[in-house]
Structure 1
Amino acid sequence: MSDELPTDDLDDLLAPPPPSTDATLRSALLRTTQRRVCRTKWVRRAGKVAAVAAVFVVGVGVGALRTPPERETVVVTREVETIVATVPVVVPVVISATEAPSVPPPTLTAARLELDAEQADGAAAATLYRRAGDKYLAAEQDYANAARCYRLFLTRSGDTALSPEPEDSWLLASLKNAAFKEKIHATTDG
């Protein structure tokens, strides 16, 4: 057996052509290929730009078509009617002290009660602080101000106020309990 393959009469036809030695042909082929690659690149870029421009133009066209036409401005004039109304006027009348009806005292706000308590002394201040705390808690649900007023009440009233009473609010009862425990622990610790 020999290592050589038998020659086929189609080998000459199927074999690649021999390389050309002509330099001008090679350079012309290189320039043509470079131009074709460059042109393809620019055609692709131009196609993308054209697609973006087309989308923009379609968007502007849709916006222009969807814009409602200007509406007519219609001015409506109305006749103004004059209406005469009677308004009651309060006239103060002086009444003697024996004829004066009893007028309930004005309700004081929690802030006003607290201000009055700051200006009062002793037991009156303690009572006003407690009333202000009750008002903050019940009427305004302002727990921080209520707790502050209750603490000032306990400070101004002394040890006698630490005993629980049936009319104490839950916040005041809690503060009394804490103050009592604090007092007990302060005396037992030395």
Structure 2
Amino acid sequence: MSDSLPPDDLDHLLAPLPTTTDAALRSALLRATQRRISRTRWVRRAGKVAAIAAVFVVGVGVGVLRTPPEREKVVVTREVETIVAAIPVVVPVMISATEPPPVPPPTLTAARLELDAEQADGAAAATLYRRAGDTYLATEQDYANAARCYRLFLTRGGDTALSPESDDSWLLASLKNAAFKEKIHATTDG
């Protein structure tokens, strides 16, 4: 292509406009643009707030309109009848010129015996632990607590508690046997 083209009739329309160096015009144009932009922002914000308020008002309106009318309240009163009945009760009263019969001592539970053993010292504690173990085993069939009490009996009773007796329970005899073997092996190995 060549550099010289014939002039076009529309070149003056497509050419850039001549720039004006008028400062007053530029500042007026800048202020008008800034006002337009800020007005557009405020209009958008106001529109959003109005939309939120409209949704809230519609929600309140629906809630008010959908609320069922208040139901009729019915108060039921009952009359209470009081009936008084006399029931004779026989109360035995012992009148005796002699002493009252002796009250048997309360039977101690295994837990109570164990608590008493914890508060006692020496041989009394060992005896109470053995009674607690016997009670746990015989009446409650609680093998874990019975074994614990028997071990405490053997610990508090010393060497005399390790000797087998005819009234030992199977669990106590087994624990005595194990403790005796442990003692024998401890003295021969050392």
TM-score, length basis structure 2:
0.62
DSSP 3-state at the match of 1:168: helix
Q: How many residues align?
A: 176
Tell me, yes or no, if the aligned pair for 1:110 and 1:133 is still in contact at 8 Å: yes
Q: Structure 1 residues 51-60 or 116-125, which shifts more? A: 116-125
Cα distance change of structure 1 residues 65 and 81 upon mapping to structure 2, 3 Å threshold: farther
Query: For structure 1, which runs of at least 5 residues remain unmatched after alignment?
Result: none
Distance 1:178 1:66, change over 3 A: farther
Shift of 1:48: 2.7
Which of 134, 137, 144 aligns to 2:137? It is 134
Task: Tell me the equivalent position of 1:81.
Answer: 82
Residue aligning to 2:11: 11
Query: Residues 8, 123 of structure 1: CA spacing in aligned structure 2 closer, same or farther, 3 A cutoff?
Result: closer
Q: CA deviation at 1:18?
A: 1.8
Aligned residue type for 2:171 = D
Give, in angstroms, the shift of residue 13 of structure 1: 1.4
Report the residue type matching 2:53 in the other structure: A
Which stretch of the first structure deviates more once superposed, 122-131 or 28-37? 122-131
CA distance in structure 2 between the aligned counterparts of 1:40 and 1:87, rounded to whole angstroms: 97
Please give the per-residue CA displacement for 1:91-110, whole angstroms capped at 9, x wherever unaligned: 24469xxxx9xx99865433
2:171 equivalent among 168, 171, 185: 168
Of 125, 128, 131, the match for 1:125? 128
Amino acid at match of 1:40: T
Residue deviations 1:133-186 (CA, integer Å, cap 9, x gap): 4379746x9x5x65542322222452236xxx77429xx96x668745643453
- Deviation sequence 1:6-39 (CA, Å, 0-9, x none): 5433222122322233333322221111001111
**1:186 equivalent in alignment to 2:186:** yes
Give the Cα separation in 2 of the matches to 1:6 and 1:90. 142
Please give the alpha-carbon distance, in whole angstroms, between the structure 2 residues aligned to 1:56 and 1:14: 54
| Kept in 2: contact 1:126–1:152 (CA 8 A) | yes
Whichever residue aligns with residue 150 of structure 2, its letter is Y
Cα distance in 2 for partners of 1:177, 1:129 equals 20
Q: What residue is the counterpart of 1:155 in the other structure?
A: 155
Asked whether the 8 Å contact 1:129–1:149 carries over to 2, the reply is yes
**TM-score, length of structure 1 as denominator length:** 0.62
Q: Is the 8 A contact 1:136 1:146 kept in 2?
A: no
Q: For 1:4 and 1:188, how far apart are their aligned partners in 2?
A: 127
CA RMSD of aligned residues (A): 4.3
In the other structure, the counterpart of 1:33 is 33
Distance 2:184 2:5 in 1: 118
Report the 3-state secondary structure (helix = DSSP H, G, I; strand = E; otherwise coil) of the residue aligned with 1:121: helix
